[in-house]
Amino acid sequence: MKPIYEPKGAAKEYGKLALNIYTGCPHRCYYCFAPMYLHDVREAFHSHVEPRKNIVAEVEKQLKREGITGETIHLCFTCDPYPCGYDSTATREIIKLLKGAGNHVQILTKGDGSRDFDLLDSEDWYGVTYAGYDAEKESPLKPPHAEPGSVPVATRLAALQDAHARGIKTWMSMEPVLDDFDVIKFLRLHVDYVDRYKIGKLNYHPSDIDWAWFGRSAESVCKELGLDYYIKDSLRACMNGGKN
């Protein structure tokens, strides 16, 4: 077992190395790609959540065996490092191991990772997903409560503010965007507690968003306000005349 791995495809745009800690995710985001990617039944993926077998011990072994150090490791892609309603001790233990070996972490969550802020420093990244406030409302192209098992957006933003105040680097994954106008509105707020934005489109699901317009508008705002941002490749392709 090699829990620390090199992502491929679109995932590689988020980082060189990654680690998935849990077997599933209880957040039940309707746009979740993980069950399809893992060839799992969606209901089973969202209801059976536990640390992968011997994950902490296997991470420790791999760090020693391969001498992995000086890297920033993404937590997580096919799960959330802070699954709501579940014990996240495994995440804390893994962060300790990674940091102890001289690495840093890039966390992305729809949960609340503030319990582990004491382990992080100015070279670590703490990030949350922001699809737009209307991700919790119904529209013809998305069900109500599109992220029903996750913590509310306001709670995520409060944790992000706390992390920034502690000197931890902060970032926001605006992918997948579900409410384009709200995302543009948020970017225009130019909040001082987000250090970097990564912006991407909704994939694998129908949408009424004009992705070319959205991408160009988002980039224009980022440039105007001097924000640190990255446009994901699939959205960039739409901006450059590719299929919406």
CA distances from 211 to 125, 135, 233 (A): 28, 17, 12
CA distance 143 to 92: 33
CA distance 72 to 208: 36
The sign of the dihedral angle between the CA atoms of 110, 104, 168, 197 is negative
List the domains of the chain with CATH numbers: 4-209 (3.20.20.70)
Which residues, 6+ apart, have CB-to-CB distance to 107 below 8 Å?
A: 75, 81, 113, 124, 125, 126, 127
Answer yes or no: pTM beyond 0.85: yes
Q: Are 106 and 75 in contact (CB under 8 A)?
A: yes
Stated as kind and residue range, the H or E segment containing 229 is strand 229-231
pLDDT at 45: 86
Judge residue 218's burial from the number of C-beta atoms within 10 Å of its C-beta, 0-12 exposed, 13-18 middle, 19 or more buried.
buried
Which residues, 6+ apart, have CB-to-CB distance to 173 below 8 Å?
A: 14, 108, 127, 128, 129, 130, 198, 200
Task: Give the three-class secondary structure for 75.
Answer: strand
Q: What is the pLDDT of residues 21-37, one digit of tens each?
A: 999 999 999 888 887 77
pLDDT at 101: 98
Lowest mean pLDDT among 32-46, 61-75, 103-117: 32-46
Average pLDDT over residues 148-160: 92
Residue 5 binned pLDDT confidence (cut-offs 50, 70, 90): very high
pLDDT at 73: 98
- Angle (nearest 5°) at CA 123 between 119 and 128: 75
pLDDT at 137: 58
Residue 38 binned pLDDT confidence (cut-offs 50, 70, 90): confident
Average pLDDT over residues 56-77: 97
Average pLDDT along the chain: 92
Q: What is the pLDDT of residues 160-210, one digit of tens each?
A: 999 999 999 999 999 999 989 999 999 999 999 999 999 999 988 888 899
Residue 39 binned pLDDT confidence (cut-offs 50, 70, 90): confident
pLDDT at 138: 53
The sign of the dihedral angle between the CA atoms of 40, 173, 86, 71 is positive
Has residue 139 got a pLDDT over 60? no
Average pLDDT over residues 6-19: 88
The residue to which tokens 């000197």 are assigned: 167
